[in-house]
C-alpha cells in the first residue's frame, strides 16, 4: 500500500528516532524498567504525541493511517515505549481532543503534545475487564464537583501520568447510561498510585493499580455529557485495536530483522544458514505474515479515517496481527537456536514484549466474538456497507 509523501516523511522520522534512541538501549531499559525522562520531550518535539491532535493545540491533525505508520516504527524499537505512546497519545490526548471542552483541551493538550504532561485512561477494574459495564467506581455529586471512589487495575502510564481520564458510575439507576468520564489531575488528593506491576514484558511501560479514596474533582472535570461515559468509551475501541495491530507488526518486524541478520551471519555445514531451505522457507513465511498484517492494519486505519464503521475490520486486524506477531517472534527464536533463548539477544525480549498484544484492547477471544457477531451481512471485508451497532462486550483488560 503506497503511503503519501507526508506519511513517508513521518515514517522516516519515527524510524530514525527508533533506531538511534530506542534500539540500542532495549536490554538495559528492560533490566531497569526505566528510561531517560528526556525521551518523552524528544518524542513530543518530533510530533509523535500530536499526530491525532488538532493543529490549534500544537498537534499535526493527522489521521489513523499516519498514526499506525508512526507507531509501528516506535514498536520496532521498543514495545514498552510504543505502549506508552499508544496510551498517552491515543488513549488520553486523542480522547481529550475528541470529547473535552475548550477549557480542558487548552489546559492540557499543548503540554501533552509536547511530552511535558503524560496521560493515562482508567477504565479497567479488578473485576471489570472485557465487561466494561461492570465498572464499580462511583462518582458522587457534591457541592462544586464530584467525589470519586473505586479501584482501577492495569493502568499503563499510571505512575508517570500527570492527568487521567477516569470512567465512573454517576447514576447507578440508569445502568449503562449512568456512567461518565472525568479528567482528573493525578496530584488530586485521594488519587493514590499503587506499586508498579512486575510483568513478563514491556517493562518500560509502567502498569499500576490506582485507588480513588474520596477523590474530589471540580464540576469542570466532567468530560462530554453526563451519563455518556460508556457509549463514548465503546465508540473509541476500533482506534485502539488498530493501534495494537500496528504495535504487533512493529515488534514482529524487529524480531524478523534480527532473525534475518543472524541467518546471514551464522554458518552451519559450510554455509550461512539462510542458504538452507528449512531456514529460508521459515523466513519467507515470516515476511509474508508481517506484510499481510501490515496491509490489513492500514486498510482498517483507512476505513477509520473515512469515518466508516470498521468494528469488524479493527478486530480482525488486531486478532491477526497479535497472533502473527507471537508466531513470528517464536520463529525468530528458533532461527537463533540456543542463542535465541538468551537475554543477550533481542529476540528473547521482543517475544516477551509482544505477548500482551493478544490481551490488551480486548483479548483475542473477545475479538473473535465481535467478528462473529458482525459476519451476518453487517460489514463487508471491503468496508463498503456497515450498519453494525456496536463493538461487542467490552474492551477486555485494557492497559489503561
Active-site residues, by number, are 361
Q: How far apart are CA 308 and CA 178, in angstroms?
A: 27
CB atoms within 10 A of CB 308: 17
The strand ranges marked E within the chain are 119-122, 138-142, 145-156, 163-169, 179-185, 191-196, 207-218, 222-223, 267-268, 271-272
Q: How far apart are CA 282 and CA 336, in angstroms?
A: 12
What residues contact 265, with CB distance under 8 A and at least 6 apart? Answer: 272
Evaluate whether 95 touches 86 at the Cβ level (below 8 Å).
Answer: no
DSSP 2: P
Q: Is the dihedral of CA 125, 319, 375, 294 positive or negative?
A: positive
Residue 263 Rama label (left phi>0; alpha psi -120 to 50; beta): alpha
Q: Which residue, 150, 180, 201, 174, is CA-closest to 350? A: 201
Q: How far apart are CA 157 and CA 35, in angstroms?
A: 13
Evaluate whether 151 touches 157 at the Cβ level (below 8 Å).
Answer: no
Q: Which residue, 155, 118, 10, is CA-closest to 72? A: 10
Buried b / exposed e across 108-135, counting CB within 10 Å, b at 16+? bbbbbbbbebbbbbbbbbeebbbebeeb
What Å distances lie between residue 68 and 30, 216, 220, 270, 293, CA to CA? Answer: 24, 36, 32, 42, 12
DSSP 228: B
3-state secondary structure 98-162: HHCCHHHHHHHHHHHHHCCCCEEEECCECCECCCHHHCCCEEEEECCEEEEEEEEEEEECCCCCC
Cell representation of residue 163:
492527568
Amino acid at each position: 500500500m503506497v503511503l503519501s509523501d507526508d506519511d513517508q516523511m513521518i515514517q522516516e522520522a519515527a524510524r530514525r528516532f527508533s533506531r538511534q534512541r530506542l534500539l540500542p538501549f532495549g536490554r538495559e531499559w528492560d533490566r531497569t524498567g526505566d528510561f531517560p525522562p528526556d525521551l518523552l520531550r524528544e518524542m513530543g518535539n518530533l510530533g509523535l504525541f500530536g499526530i491525532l491532535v488538532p493543529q490549534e493545540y500544537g498537534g499535526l491533525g493527522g489521521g489513523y493511517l499516519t498514526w499506525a505508520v508512526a507507531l509501528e516504527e516506535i514498536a520496532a524499537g521498543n514495545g514498552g515505549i510504543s505502549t506508552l505512546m499508544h496510551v498517552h497519545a491515543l488513549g488520553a490526548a486523542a480522547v481529550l481532543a475528541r470529547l473535552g471542552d475548550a477549557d480542558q483541551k487548552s489546559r492540557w493538550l499543548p503540554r501533552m503534545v509536547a511530552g511535558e504532561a503524560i496521560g493515562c485512561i482508567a477504565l479497567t477494574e479488578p473485576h471489570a475487564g472485557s465487561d466494561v459495564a461492570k465498572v464499580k467506581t462511583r462518582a458522587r455529586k457534591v457541592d462544586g464537583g464530584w467525589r470519586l471512589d473505586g479501584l482501577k487495575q492495569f493502568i499503563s502510564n499510571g505512575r508517570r501520568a500527570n492527568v487521567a481520564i477516569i470512567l465512573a458510575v454517576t447514576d447507578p439507576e440508569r445502568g449503562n447510561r449512568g456512567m461518565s468520564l472525568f479528567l482528573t489531575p493525578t496530584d488530586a488528593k485521594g488519587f493514590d498510585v499503587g506499586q508498579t506491576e512486575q510483568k513478563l514484558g514491556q517493562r518500560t511501560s509502567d502498569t499500576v493499580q490506582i485507588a480513588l479514596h474520596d477523590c474530589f474533582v471540580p464540576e469542570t472535570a466532567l468530560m462530554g455529557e453526563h451519563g455518556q461515559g460508556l457509549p463514548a468509551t465503546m465508540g473509541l475501541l476500533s482506534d485502539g485495536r488498530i493501534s495494537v495491530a500496528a504495535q504487533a507488526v512493529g515488534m514482529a518486524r524487529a524480531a524478523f530483522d534480527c532473525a534475518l541478520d543472524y541467518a546471514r551471519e551464522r554458518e552451519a555445514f559450510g554455509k550461512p544458514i539462510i542458504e538452507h531451505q528449512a531456514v529460508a522457507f521459515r523466513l519467507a513465511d515470516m515476511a509474508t505474515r508481517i506484510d499481510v498484517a501490515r496491509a490489513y492494519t492500514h486498510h482498517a486505519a483507512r476505513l477509520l479515517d473515512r469515518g466508516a464503521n470498521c468494528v469488524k475490520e479493527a478486530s480482525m486486524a488486531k486478532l491477526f496481527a497479535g497472533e502473527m506477531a507471537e508466531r513470528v517472534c517464536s520463529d525468530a527464536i528458533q532461527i537463533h537456536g540456543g542463542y535465541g533463548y538468551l537475554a543477550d539477544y533481542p529476540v528473547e525480549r521482543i517475544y516477551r514484549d509482544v505477548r500482551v498484544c493478544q490481551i490488551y484492547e480486548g483479548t483475542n477471544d473477545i475479538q473473535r466474538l465481535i467478528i462473529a457477531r458482525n459476519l451476518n451481512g453487517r460489514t463487508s471485508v471491503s468496508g463498503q456497507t456497515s450498519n453494525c451497532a456496536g463493538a461487542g462486550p467490552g474492551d477486555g483488560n485494557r492497559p489503561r
